[in-house]
Chains A and B, each alone.
Chain A
Amino acid sequence: MISRRDMLRTAGLTGLGLAVAACGRGFGGGGSEAASGKIELNMVWWGDAFRAQKTQAALDLFMKANPGITIKTEYQDSGPYKDKLATRFAAGNPPDLMMMRMDSLREYADRKSLLNLNDHPGIVDTANLSQAAVNLTKVGDAVYGIPSGLNAIGFIVNKTITDQYGVTIPDGATWTWQDLAKFAKEVTDKSGKKVYGTLVDPATLANLVVYVSQQGEDLFTADGKFGVSEATLTAWFQMFEDMRKEGGFPPAGFVETTGSSPDQSYIAKGSVASQIIPSNGLLGYNKVAGGNLVLLGIPGEATAKRRGTNIGTPALWSIAASSKHPKEALRLLNFLINDVEANKAMGTTRGVPASTVVADAIKPTMEKDDQVATDYLIGLQKQTLVAVPPYPKGASGIQDELTAVAPEVEHGRLTPAEAAKKVIEAATKALSQ
């Protein structure tokens, strides 16, 4: 029996065959076509050398199966990546396939710089993506990419520390923010302030989104406006100031700007007992924190008005609208998303594969922590979650304002209410531009 997926795949391959043939005759060719008729795709992403090695292994499989196509990759840190990508688009020389930050997606999509996958049906197979994963790719009705790997935020607690001081870890499925405060205070008190109970960055938008959704509000309204009320923002800042006053949260000035990698985290240094991480980071954090971390849900999930945790992705794989070889780029994209061997080669360096079939298939090859994180994510995808639309243009201005006001609240220069007011003002302005 032929399934819908097989049909799509066949259609896609046929389309591709035609495209390749056309290129071979010199139609629709581009500057990057070598004399031998070989097609060169440029693929860029951010990450480290480990991710590079894993990615290359997957690409080698693709090139072996597609002798006509070579892939030239470039990668760097996420900071410089953002600049370089913007510059390449500005110079009219965008890469064919790229990792696209979720907070930049609309900056590019709204300016028609990315390929709408709906315009090229049949090549990329999305049948095995959960609804939550598909939602991430959409801007209106258009689809501008496929999640490069799924992710959600989770709470990690260092069990070595809680055991040492005799503190019970609350039930991660049912605990509330009050439970977190109580737990955190207990850790700080029993350790004689050697270890602070918890550290949640109030300035990280991904953390705030969960809390906002739990209060029944949306970060962005359907028409792209800022949807958070002053009361909710005030409560958010107030919550951490209260914890700080009680002692569960570290004192002002404790958190210094360091890198965001696990080995630079305070939980790795053993100076805090719990914090929020992206779920695909569990393995990395556990390695540097002594191997005894427990992954919990975000507080308040069971008792709040509605769910706050959501499936996210750090990035989409997107294709430039002006790519000279869109068919081949789409085919590579399909390979990265749906090929089991490719994903075995890549591992979970970008999170859990978006395709549930692939995720299931590669799970036995993962390390234990990655399996835990994958189960957490697969579990989430089976639940009813609240979808967050892609960040509208100017959303990075909101993150900037949060980053600016949070330390002011911390050092008592702004009250939580004043900070909330400032964030709303800045957000309204940033989104109206």
Chain B
Amino acid sequence: MTLAPVEDLAVSGAPVSPRKAAKPPQDRSGYLFILPWFLGMAFTIIPFFASLYLAFTDYNLLNVPNWIGLENFAEMFSDDTWWQSVKVTFVYTFVSVPLSLAAALGVAMLLNRGVRGLPVYRAIFYLPSLLGGSVALVLLWRYIFGLNGIVNAFLGFFGVEKIGWTSDPDYALTTLIILHIWTFGSPMVIFLAGLKQIPAMYYEAAAIDGATKWQQFRKITLPLLSPIIFFNLIQSLISSFQTFTQGFIFSGGKGGPANSTMFYNLYLYKQGFEQFHMGYASAMAWMLLIIIAAFTGLNFLMAKRWVHYDN
């Protein structure tokens, strides 16, 4: 049996006027409403293919691009700064993402225990992630971690010598990682929503059977929350690979000290707009796409082992 078209069902019973059947006005207004999306897509798709083409050229912004094949991609592997930018981005991602997700889950569980004024706490914890990539916050962070900032003053009480949190190449990335961990608000809110979905009776039953809190967490919370954890992991990984603002503002656009905060996208930007290597920058962008796709794909493969769905 074939299903009747939706609009036939909608008007069934009512007499169908020919004009209405030809073009219901709400359809037209519907197109109007999605027009911005179509326009937006054009602004996405055209640059998308343009950058794919430019990745294989020596485009320098001012002259007509020449096709150079895979040269840009080959160049990356012999470019020390490119490797440095990959290293910085990987270290940043693989340290800060697990830690920020752990912090998000921890706080979400605390908030899930029926505290009074939950919306207020939720807002407070969410706030940093709204501001995380903002210029003002990164500047504030620089100030807090400055040589004469609050952090060094605090450590000074314990006799720790002043640390160049922002000016020492050994510490600058750490400072940015701490900033990233602190902005765990958006995964936290999603975790909170997930935790609310877990029926309380599971815990009651487990408690009656004598399960400890840790066992309840391991055997009930984690498995039931695993699709949410998976979602947050993918989201955080992707956005972390694309970090730009923090590195740009923190180092005054230089990726310093000593390239220690030279994020992949920051280097890409410098190549494209400061060195006029737009072809190379495009190739870098596509390489990043490949890297992100590879990690996301890997995650989906591994997810089969630890993500439990309800059905």
List the interface of chain A (C-beta within 8 A of B). Answer: 79, 82-83, 86-87, 89-90, 107-108, 111, 113, 252-259, 394, 396-397, 400, 403-408, 411, 413
CB distance from A1 to the nearest CB of B (A): 46
1/0 per residue, CB under 8 A from A, across B197-238: the answer is 000000000000000000000000000000000000000000
Whether B259 and A411, one on each chain, are in contact in the complex, defined by CB atoms closer than 8 angstroms, is no
Q: Which of B169, B254, B274 contacts A411 (CB 8 A)?
A: B169
Whether B62 and A111, one on each chain, are in contact in the complex, defined by CB atoms closer than 8 angstroms, is yes
| Contacting residues, chain B, for A111 (C-beta < 8 A) | 60, 62-63
Q: Which of B147, B255, B258 contacts A405 (CB 8 A)?
A: B258
| Contacting residues, chain B, for A403 (C-beta < 8 A) | 254, 256
Bound Cα distance A254, B254 (Å): 18
Bound Cα distance A394, B169 (Å): 25
Whether B252 and A259, one on each chain, are in contact in the complex, defined by CB atoms closer than 8 angstroms, is yes
Among all A-B residue pairs, the 5 with the closest Cβ atoms: A253-B164, A407-B257, A111-B62, A90-B61, A407-B258
Whether A253 and B258, one on each chain, are in contact in the complex, defined by CB atoms closer than 8 angstroms, is no
| Contacting residues, chain A, for B166 (C-beta < 8 A) | 256-257
Query: Which of the four size classes fits the interface of chain B?
Result: 20 to 34
Answer yes or no: B108 CB below 8 A from chain A CBs.
Answer: no
Answer yes or no: B253 CB below 8 A from chain A CBs.
Answer: yes
Answer yes or no: B273 CB below 8 A from chain A CBs.
Answer: yes
Bound Cα distance A273, B255 (Å): 28
CB distance from A101 to the nearest CB of B (A): 11
| Contacting residues, chain A, for B276 (C-beta < 8 A) | 86, 107
Task: Name 26 A/B residue pairs within 8 A (Cβ), A-sorted.
Answer: A82-B274, A86-B276, A87-B61, A89-B61, A107-B60, A107-B62, A111-B63, A252-B168, A253-B162, A253-B164, A253-B167, A255-B167, A256-B166, A256-B167, A257-B142, A257-B254, A257-B256, A257-B257, A259-B252, A400-B274, A403-B256, A405-B258, A407-B169, A407-B258, A411-B258, A413-B258
Whether B275 and A113, one on each chain, are in contact in the complex, defined by CB atoms closer than 8 angstroms, is no
Q: Which of A108, A394, A411, A413 has the most CB of B within 10 A?
A: A411
Whether A256 and B164, one on each chain, are in contact in the complex, defined by CB atoms closer than 8 angstroms, is yes
| Contacting residues, chain A, for B273 (C-beta < 8 A) | 82-83, 86-87
Whether A254 and B63, one on each chain, are in contact in the complex, defined by CB atoms closer than 8 angstroms, is no
| Contacting residues, chain A, for B259 (C-beta < 8 A) | 404
Contacts known (A256-B167, A411-B169, A413-B258); A400 close to B251, Cβ less than 8 A = no
Whether B253 and A411, one on each chain, are in contact in the complex, defined by CB atoms closer than 8 angstroms, is no
Answer yes or no: B146 CB below 8 A from chain A CBs.
Answer: yes
Bound Cα distance A406, B253 (Å): 16
| Contacting residues, chain B, for A258 (C-beta < 8 A) | 142, 252
